[in-house]
């Protein structure tokens, strides 16, 4: 299947004179990339997807697919496969007719259609169910049919709008693996909308985090996790401790009631407000090492493989995740010395606000 690039330039969608649903989104997706749009509901990720698909028109800005401008093109001429959360299978058609629908629209001969439908159903592991009606399939099977239907006509791009949202947890994890396999085998460019950060982390080449109609950051999952660009991204992805602080210069930051902390130097002006991100799993019990702080535990949640200790250092709330056997003795009310490396603290310059 051909891999195509997709690019959006300053795309805006405004419904009324209210806050725009999409407020100047620009991004460049490389051929064959798997990119997730991640964000809370109402962040503009689905609206952006609908504009790429052609179901909604951008108020301004333009969209290019494989170098062509497509934003004035009607949806049926774009050659983009779309998978919906509720599957959107045609209930009156059999599985084979559903998958054959895009080929029928392209006027393919009967034999070729039959061959391609068979191959697509084989790809999603549903070859035996071609004669069934959608209502006779489970949710997971219906989503596979929808996937087969969206890829059978060799689209330039596949858009997936929270495709696994309606499935239970086991089926969802199974389908994530399947989807990645299909993406690898076909090499087609995929854009995946989700509000589930784990899903985005495990599946994507890159993640675009949406908030209030804008992209806060677009980066590979690991970069996003370790070096979030904004306070929003840091709080949306992964468990976190976000500590407000002030730059003191030379990589030192002052935290109210905690004293100065050493972290990396961003060459910020002295007195600039920053947020310090310290992931709970980066913090260890001090042991032999000099303690960085002392945590007073308010509650300890045992996950079996680890314990999440929630407490305070001075007045600053802190979450600490301690793995393994050393965590078993942690109890509410205890005071424990903590240690972390200066390099584990990620410094985020405070937002424009």
Partner 1 sequence: MKSLKTLAVLIALFIAVPLFIVVPMSFSANASLQFPPSAYWWGNYQHFFSDINWMQPLFNSLYIGLATTLLTLALAIPASFALVRHYFIGRTALNLLLMLPMIVPQIVMALGYYLYFGRLHLTQSFTGIIIVHTCLGIPVATLILTAALRSFDANLEHAAHSLGAPALTTFWLVTLPVLRPAVLVAGLFAFIQSFDETVIAVFISGRDTATLPRQMFNSFRMEADPVISAASSFLFILVLAALLLPLAVRLTRRSSGSAAGHLAR
Q: Candidates 87-95, 200-208, 271-279, 314-322 — which segment interacts with partner 1 by CB under 8 A?
A: 87-95
When asked if residue 54 is in the footprint of partner 1 (CB under 8 A), the reply is yes
User: Contact with partner 1 (CB under 8 A): which of 81, 238, 280, 311?
Assistant: 81
- Dihedral sign, Cα of residue 127, residue 129, residue 134, residue 135: negative
Q: How far is the CB of 143 from partner 1 (least distance, A)?
A: 13
When asked if residue 79 is in the footprint of partner 1 (CB under 8 A), the reply is yes
Q: What is the DSSP letter of 129?
A: G
- Other Cβ atoms less than 10 A from the Cβ of 341: the count is 13
Pick the closer one to partner 1 by CB: 54 or 238: 54
Q: Phi first, then psi: what are they for 16, rounded to 5°?
A: -125, -150
User: Contact with partner 1 (CB under 8 A): which of 14, 64, 114, 133?
Assistant: 133
Residue 249 · residue 270 · CB < 8 Å: yes
Q: Phi first, then psi: what are they for 114, rounded to 5°?
A: -60, -45
Site for partner 1 in 93-122 (CB under 8 A): 101-102, 105-106
User: Contact with partner 1 (CB under 8 A): which of 51, 53, 179, 237?
Assistant: 53
CA-closest candidate to residue 90, choices 79, 107, 102: 102
Pick the closer one to partner 1 by CB: 135 or 269: 135
How many angstroms separate the Cα of 349 from the Cα of each of 39, 182, 229, 246?
A: 21, 40, 8, 10
When asked if residue 84 is in the footprint of partner 1 (CB under 8 A), the reply is yes
CA 278 – CA 257 distance, rounded (Å): 17
Residue 186 · residue 31 · CB < 8 Å: no
Residue 13 · residue 56 · CB < 8 Å: yes
When asked if residue 57 is in the footprint of partner 1 (CB under 8 A), the reply is no
Site string for partner 1, 58-77 (x = CB under 8 A): ----------------xxxx
Residue 82 exposure: Cα atoms within 13 Å on the Cβ side: 18
When asked if residue 132 is in the footprint of partner 1 (CB under 8 A), the reply is yes
User: Contact with partner 1 (CB under 8 A): which of 15, 19, 40, 55?
Assistant: 55
Q: How far is the CB of 132 from partner 1 (least distance, A)?
A: 7
Pick the closer one to partner 1 by CB: 100 or 213: 100
When asked if residue 128 is in the footprint of partner 1 (CB under 8 A), the reply is no
Binding stretches for partner 1 (CB under 8 A): 53-55, 74-82, 84, 86, 88-92, 101-102, 105-106, 131-133, 135-136, 146, 149-150, 153
């Amino acid at each position: 299947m051909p891999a195509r690039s997709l690019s959006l330039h300053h795309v805006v969608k405004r419904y009324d004179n209210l806050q725009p649903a999409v407020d100047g989104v620009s991004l460049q997706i490389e051929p064959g990339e798997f990119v997730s749009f991640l964000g809370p509901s109402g962040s503009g990720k689905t609206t952006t997807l609908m504009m790429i698909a052609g179901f909604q028109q951008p108020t301004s800005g333009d969209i290019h697919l494989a170098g062509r401008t497509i934003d004035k093109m009607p949806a049926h001429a774009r050659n983009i496969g779309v998978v919906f959360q509720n599957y959107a299978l045609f209930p009156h058609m059999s599985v084979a007719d559903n998958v054959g629908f895009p080929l029928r629209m392209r006027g393919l001969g009967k034999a070729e259609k039959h061959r391609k439908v068979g191959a697509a159903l084989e790809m999603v592991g549903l070859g035996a169910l071609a004669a069934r009606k959608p209502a006779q399939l489970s949710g997971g099977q219906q989503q596979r049919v929808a996937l087969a239907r969206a890829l059978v006509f060799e689209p330039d791009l596949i858009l997936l709008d929270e495709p696994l949202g309606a499935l239970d947890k086991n089926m969802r994890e199974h389908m994530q693996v399947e989807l990645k396999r299909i993406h690898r085998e076909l090499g087609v460019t995929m854009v995946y909308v989700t509000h589930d950060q784990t899903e985005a982390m495990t599946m994507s080449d890159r993640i675009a985090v949406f908030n209030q109609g804008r992209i806060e950051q677009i980066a590979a999952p690991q970069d996003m996790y370790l070096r979030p660009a904004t306070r929003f991204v840091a709080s949306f992805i992964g468990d976190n401790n976000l500590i407000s602080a002030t730059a003191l210069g030379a990589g030192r930051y002052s935290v109210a009631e905690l004293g100065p902390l050493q972290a990396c130097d961003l060459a910020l002006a002295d007195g600039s407000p920053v947020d310090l991100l310290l992931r709970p799993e980066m913090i260890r019990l001090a042991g032999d090492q000099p303690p960085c702080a002392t945590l007073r535990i308010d509650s300890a949640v045992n996950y079996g493989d680890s314990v999440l200790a929630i407490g305070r250092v001075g007045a600053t709330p802190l979450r600490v995740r301690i793995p393994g056997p050393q965590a078993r003795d942690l109890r509410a009310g205890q005071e424990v010395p903590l240690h972390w490396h200066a390099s584990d603290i990620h410094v985020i310059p405070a937002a424009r606000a």
